[in-house]
Structure 1
Amino acid sequence: MDDVFSVQTAAAAETNDQDGLETLMALKDCDTFLVADHWGDVKAGADGLFNSDTRLLSRYTLTVGRARPSRLSSGVTKDNVFFTCHSTNRPLPPMGGRSAPAGVLHLERRRFLWEQRLFERVRMVNHGIEDILLPLTFEFDADFADIFQVRGMARLERGEMHPPTLDGRRVTFSYTGLDGALRTSCLAFSEPPARLSANRADFMFSLPKGRSLDLFIECGLGASDQPDQERWRWHSILARLAMRRRLRRGAIVEAGRNPVLNDWLRQSRADIALLTTDLPTGPYPYAGVPWFSTPFGRDGIITAWQMLWIDPSLAKGVLTYLAARQATETNPFMDSAPGKIMHETRGGEMSVLGEVPFGLYYGGVDTTCLFIALAGAYAKRTNDYQTIRALWPNLIAAAGWMADYGDSNGDGLIDYARAAETGLSNQGWKDSEDSIFYADGRYPKGPIALLEVQGYAFAAWKALAEMGAVLGDERAPAWAARAETVRALVEQRYWMEDEGFYAIALDGDGAQCRAIGSNAGHLLFTGLPSPERAALVTRRMLTAEFRSGWGLRTLGKGQARFNPMSYHNGSVWPHDTALAAAGMARYGERRAVAMLMGEIYGSATHFQMRLPELFCGFVRETGEPPIAYPVACLPQAWAAGSVFLMLQSVLGLSIDAADGVVEVANPALPAGLDRLSITRLQVGDGIIDLHFQRLDHHVVVMPRERSGTVNLRATG
């Protein structure tokens, strides 16, 4: 096996400009996010400054002497707080004398988001031997487009755009939507432009040799105070401190003396922190930028589960938020029914008006099961039964949905069929229209009972029984029995003996959809299959049929509709690979999990250590990078969380807070990694530090610092 954790080669680094993803420079704070190119310019398309699914700034470009400056470097800081672009001038036009030559002006654009506002500082430094006159131009616009319009959805009507108002250093844009809401955004400069119009600000600065000059700019909701150095400095401190607090939650994982793997761990942790919004109900990881910067039920649950062993506060925040938005009525447009857990929520004009159903949408067949299963995992990890008691009515209501609404035909399996044409046609995590099909590629008739959803239901009933036993609920034995009934049904109805694998789904007649997909890896994650069948599934998923060399494909190679460039039918999703790897580890597999983690790590090195939502499933070729999927979200929460779930799986680490025990079973480390440390791992009222080290052909774990009542139990 190659040393997959060796230092990234220069050749690999050079591919970052080629994969098309570096142009996406994203910042986020709460419900506000910004997407720009790597000059820092916003040029329509998917770019813009957004708040609550509305674009407040649709164009924002900077030119120097009517030309775009020459970019030297740009990027987002490791903590995801600041974007900085360094550039220099092209030859400046003559201004009453000789023109300034190229390369004498250093131009730095540095920006951050804080409290629904963009703060930017443009610093200009004259390194030439003469004074220069510096013409600087900003072009800008605000279209107040809904996020679904930006994604390409046409609208027959829009509200009223009002003429922009000018006030010396400010331009205020406003729009009254069809929902009657007035939306405004204000772009303000610290210095008065020489000329200011509705869409352009022209400056002419006199910049002596060896001197510097700063221009401060703000843009956001409503009116703005006058930008200046003190406001920029103070708010940048607040933004960085807020990020630092999020980064300090939970345990710290470090990969010995391996700087490259540490970069991946830190970048992933920073991406989780970036996407996490501190809501009144607690921290919630938004799904991804740009298309999914909002709470999603499934994504939030999976991300919280990935991070549970490190930082249980995410799970508590997710569970509490989703409980507060649990459905209480049947509504076909919203795909809701009593007890069902939210799939997605949006705040834009189209959602408010009902042009799309996603203002509060429940069209996810798996989220309700996952909600209960995560609560059970959280209870075991923390023993926080105060929270579980508070959530108990919601958990019982969710179980009621599973029993009364989730099983539409009474066969004991959770199924779906969208209740309205506006909803999602497929309602599992593979929710594209072509993701569920028969072996010959035909689409099945509904209702559809997805394989992995039955695994989530099994985990939910089992978790409910375990929590109920602690709480003294007399229904606990019945829930445990129901879990075993689901197990038996899945083993009987989904298993394909001739394939040695599980069917991806059952159709409305109970016939198997005999496509071979990664859904079976999720079933392993829940622990439903027998050990014998788990071994067969694992063996097949580790063949070239699924393994691309960069991770596991969502669909087996050679299947009908297989396409490595598709969204769900042959691409690689890091979280999907991580769940499958965790499932394999659950049945004792460690070496293969270490190998898969190495493959996903190899992918990360080509994406600047920031894993995208997905990438293409082409076979890995020597010296070539993974092929990017062009519109993948970056960053994406459950992609960022994948490294932590895979790491937990490869270490064989589990936590039982009730017993105050951290268990490590047959740990392994990926090739090239010999040491790993975990510090500040909290278990109940205790804290423990763990050190893993490779000795000969074995990995051993040793406790370091320890306080409170927490013990280590190591086997293997």
Structure 2
Amino acid sequence: MDMAVAGSDSARATEPNGIAKAPTQFFVPATASLHERRPRTLKHGDTFAVFDHSGDAISGHGSPEGLYHRDTRHLSHFYLTLMGGVRPILLSSALRDDNATLTCDLTNPDIHDEGGECVMRNDLVHIRRTRFLWNGVAYERLSLFNYDDQPHRLSVEIGYAADFADLFEVRGTVRPKRGERCSPVFGDDHVVLSYIGRDNLTRHTTLRFSPQPQVISHDQAVFSFELGAGERQSILIEVHCGEADLNQDLRTSFIHSFRAARRALRASSSRAAAVASSNEIFNQALRRCVADIYMLVTDTEHGPYPYAGIPWFSTIFGRDALITALETLWIDPEIARGVLSYLAAKQAKEFDAAADAEPGKILHEVRRGEMAELGEVPFRHYYGSIDSTPLFVILAGAYLQRTDDVEFARAIWPNVEAALRWIQDHGDRDGDGYVEYGRHTQEGLANQGWKDSYDSVFHADGRLAAGPIALAEVQAYVYGAWEAGAAMLDRLGNAKEAQSLKMRAEALRERFDRDFYDEDLRTYVIALDGEKRPCRVRSSNAGHVLFTGLAKPERAAAVVETLMSPSSFSGWGIRTIATTEARYNPMSYHNGSIWPHDNALIAAGFSRYGFRLEASMIFEALMGASTYVDLRRLPELFCGFPRRPVQGPTFYPVACIPQAWSAAAPLFLIQASLGLSFDAKAEHIIFSEPVLPNFLDELHIRHVRAGDGHADIMLRRSGEKVLVDVLDRTGDVRVLSMV
């Protein structure tokens, strides 16, 4: 992520010599806690919205609330009041289990006239706000029902504003110059707010209402009702991120769009295998994580693509999507295919220093806002991640193994080959056999691994590492890429070239063990700096070495033991940095916090080397944490304080939620605990020494595909073992249990 946190060290960058310099402009304001706000979020396609529990978006310094489209905030203020400025009382606020709609239930407080006399006592009028997004439009039905036995005259005011702020402005960047606000354009039932950016694009926000308001102005629409006893009346609202078709009937548009939104969510999520368990709390968390994944998945011209997270990262990210696709590959391979197709189409073909692009390199991030178009931020099409390219190859190989889709593998092989050439020709900057990073300009990201804070790579004494830096997990991904490329070549009928890649992988394993394993630390160092000195720091990065199989088998037990020791394992998960290390801070972004996706990859590494019990312990820790989170969502990260009895985890103030690779983490943890793998060519579903975490006695997996068939499978705890029962299957699918 291209995120650091204002007000902390994470907002600073480094010069090549490792000396800290002034804060970068690409930070997220920590002036208010997202966890404290517990915002309600909706997303469809390139549009997302952040509201408070009452369904309002309240503007103000540091507020992320509003309606966004393609990295521009099209609605910065949206505020419901009654009777000239009285805010309704919140009763409840809920997202549907499938994230299709937000429903806010409100009621009136005591309302007094100018003389102080109560003209309507509280709780007489029920107000329900039902809201959803579809194709760049936010729709709302505002219903009012009078439960009194007397009629009431009621005015409803809806305040609004559009600041057309670029997302990076909302995140805290101060721009020396902005574009021009246009005068509002009014109709009887609508208002159009517009802004001409410095990129010469005109952006519009169109608000339409039905019935026609009594008053409509540049910042407010006012409705007046005579609400009889037991009577219901409704207002329909459309907020269009662009110019709306004003001739289309709003009620018809609302109904058709609502049905289309529901159908689209059902259609996409129906591809996935379904999972249910004996633990209803876990079932609730699992339903939410699946719903979040499919809300974040956006249909692109190349297929489904999971956007990274809300609010700061609702866009294309290479690394995040590749990891999310790996996590979800066993339940829905179509996500992986969409990610591979998109990234293959956008693979760099030439050098571009400003974008950190090199031939064969895989995309890091896409931004579509005014600041990206003008080059005020370098992320329009940005390639500054060191790990997206090997991860692309790993996913391509994993997708082929999962699906045996040889035709697709053959179609993207030129892209895989280009990525492997990048690893060899450009990733390895000094020819030492390791892939290192360093940005081409001062505008790019200083640290280009997934831990991209300025201080995330350091020596044992706390000194920052000077680049070019070779991260431990990046070498693991490169090893995985050589192995995946070899497997693809074998399947495509090129055994000779496959053997060459296998030899590269084995040479890397020997070299890596010599240079990265530290006998005293009993784990792998986090990195080698620009002078090839090891950064002797205990970190979660070492778990990724297990994930791809780079670790020699004789090292695995020590690495697992180190990662599961109290200094690393908090009880809620494995910390990014152990408590013993110089820069440990449980409240930092990358130096002591806990990231669900990081833990899921580590658990998969544990499982790969046969440490299923430890993998299930990570699973249990993260699921325990989720029970303390609103909607049972796992956030992007949380703080690394030790687990305390009868208390939940400590939350990180500006963590995105939902976040795709966090939402998908429980699915990958299921796979890791069960030792689940596939041989799609043989149509085999394989469970190797499966373990169920202590909170599960049964797990029912329905409609999991292998080749042209599928199976329904029940796993049950029986003493120390897990029994695998096949309830149903189609085609030639076989379910194998390896004990």
Structure-1 residue corresponding to 2:448: 427
Q: Partners of 2:249 and 2:131 in 1: how far apart?
A: 13
Is the aligned partner of 1:398 residue 2:419?
yes
Are the aligned partners of 2:361 and 2:389 in contact in 1 as well (CA < 8 Å)?
yes
Q: Partners of 2:267 and 2:476 in 1: how far apart?
A: 36
| Aligned-pair CA distance for 1:421 | 0.8
Structure-2 residue corresponding to 1:33: 48
Are the aligned partners of 1:19 and 1:627 in contact in 2 as well (CA < 8 Å)?
no
Are the aligned partners of 2:683 and 2:733 in contact in 1 as well (CA < 8 Å)?
yes
| Aligned-pair CA distance for 1:229 | 3.4
Are the aligned partners of 1:57 and 1:144 in contact in 2 as well (CA < 8 Å)?
yes
Are the aligned partners of 2:111 and 2:118 in contact in 1 as well (CA < 8 Å)?
no
Is the aligned partner of 1:499 residue 2:521?
yes
| Aligned-pair CA distance for 1:286 | 0.5
Is the aligned partner of 1:274 residue 2:292?
no
Are the aligned partners of 1:685 and 1:708 in contact in 2 as well (CA < 8 Å)?
yes
Is the aligned partner of 1:52 residue 2:70?
yes
Q: Partners of 1:231 and 1:687 in 2: how far apart?
A: 39
Structure-2 residue corresponding to 1:142: 162
Are the aligned partners of 1:95 and 1:133 in contact in 2 as well (CA < 8 Å)?
no
Instruction: For 1:202-213, list aligned pairs within 5 A.
Output: 202-213=222-233
Structure-2 residue corresponding to 1:165: 185
Is the aligned partner of 1:508 residue 2:503?
no
Instruction: For 1:382-397, list aligned pairs within 5 A.
Output: 382-397=403-418
Once the two structures are superposed, residues 632-653 of structure 1 have per-residue CA deviations (whole angstroms, 9 ceiling, x without a partner) of 1110000010001110010111
Structure-2 residue corresponding to 1:316: 337
Structure-2 residue corresponding to 1:3: none
Any idea what SS the aligned residue of 1:606 has? coil
Once the two structures are superposed, residues 549-593 of structure 1 have per-residue CA deviations (whole angstroms, 9 ceiling, x without a partner) of 111111101211111111011111001111111100111111111
Is the aligned partner of 1:125 residue 2:145?
yes
Are the aligned partners of 2:716 and 2:724 in contact in 1 as well (CA < 8 Å)?
yes
Q: Partners of 1:98 and 1:375 in 2: how far apart?
A: 68
Structure-2 residue corresponding to 1:296: 317
Are the aligned partners of 1:369 and 1:398 in contact in 2 as well (CA < 8 Å)?
yes
Are the aligned partners of 1:216 and 1:229 in contact in 2 as well (CA < 8 Å)?
yes
Q: Partners of 2:471 and 2:693 in 1: how far apart?
A: 33
Q: Partners of 1:223 and 1:692 in 2: how far apart?
A: 52
Instruction: For 1:181-580, list aligned pairs within 5 A.
Output: 181-220=201-240, 221-225=242-246, 228-255=250-277, 257-473=278-494, 474-580=496-602
Distance 1:238 1:158, change over 3 A: same
Aligned identity (percent) is 45
| Aligned-pair CA distance for 1:228 | 3.8
Are the aligned partners of 1:581 and 1:649 in contact in 2 as well (CA < 8 Å)?
yes
1:140 is matched by which residue type in structure 2? Y
Any idea what SS the aligned residue of 1:315 has? helix
Structure-2 residue corresponding to 1:73: 92
Is the aligned partner of 1:107 residue 2:127?
yes
RMSD value, Cα: 1.4
Q: Partners of 1:22 and 1:164 in 2: how far apart?
A: 31
Q: Partners of 1:664 and 1:167 in 2: how far apart?
A: 64
2:618 is matched by which residue type in structure 1? L
| Aligned-pair CA distance for 1:193 | 2.0
| Aligned-pair CA distance for 1:206 | 1.1
2:715 to 688, 692, 699: 692
1:214 is matched by which residue type in structure 2? S
Distance 1:21 1:77, change over 3 A: farther
Is the aligned partner of 1:627 residue 2:645?
no
Distance 1:124 1:641, change over 3 A: same
Once the two structures are superposed, residues 196-223 of structure 1 have per-residue CA deviations (whole angstroms, 9 ceiling, x without a partner) of 2101122221111110100000001212
Q: Which stretch shifts more, 682-691 or 464-473?
A: 464-473
Q: Partners of 1:133 and 1:92 in 2: how far apart?
A: 12
Q: Partners of 1:321 and 1:472 in 2: how far apart?
A: 26
Any idea what SS the aligned residue of 1:416 has? coil
2:401 is matched by which residue type in structure 1? K
| Aligned-pair CA distance for 1:620 | 1.1
Structure-2 residue corresponding to 1:11: none
Once the two structures are superposed, residues 610-656 of structure 1 have per-residue CA deviations (whole angstroms, 9 ceiling, x without a partner) of 11100111111112111111111110000010001110010111101
1:705 is matched by which residue type in structure 2? D
| Aligned-pair CA distance for 1:682 | 0.8
Once the two structures are superposed, residues 83-116 of structure 1 have per-residue CA deviations (whole angstroms, 9 ceiling, x without a partner) of 0110110122349996111110101111000010
Q: Partners of 1:21 and 1:35 in 2: how far apart?
A: 14
Q: Partners of 2:572 and 2:454 in 1: how far apart?
A: 25
Any idea what SS the aligned residue of 1:405 has? helix
Q: Partners of 2:324 and 2:69 in 1: how far apart?
A: 23
Any idea what SS the aligned residue of 2:678 has? strand
| Aligned-pair CA distance for 1:295 | 1.1
How many residue pairs get aligned? The number is: 698
Q: Partners of 2:711 and 2:38 in 1: how far apart?
A: 42
Are the aligned partners of 1:19 and 1:628 in contact in 2 as well (CA < 8 Å)?
no
Any idea what SS the aligned residue of 2:142 has? strand
Once the two structures are superposed, residues 450-499 of structure 1 have per-residue CA deviations (whole angstroms, 9 ceiling, x without a partner) of 00000000000111111112223342211111111111111010111111
2:187 is matched by which residue type in structure 1? D
Structure-2 residue corresponding to 1:43: 58
Is the aligned partner of 1:90 residue 2:109?
yes
Q: Partners of 1:625 and 1:232 in 2: how far apart?
A: 41
| Aligned-pair CA distance for 1:430 | 0.4
Q: Which runs of 5+ in 2 are unaligned?
A: 1-32
Any idea what SS the aligned residue of 2:119 has? coil
Are the aligned partners of 2:616 and 2:691 in contact in 1 as well (CA < 8 Å)?
yes
| Aligned-pair CA distance for 1:21 | 5.0
Are the aligned partners of 1:53 and 1:347 in contact in 2 as well (CA < 8 Å)?
yes
| Aligned-pair CA distance for 1:20 | 2.8
Are the aligned partners of 2:320 and 2:661 in contact in 1 as well (CA < 8 Å)?
yes
Any idea what SS the aligned residue of 1:43 has? coil
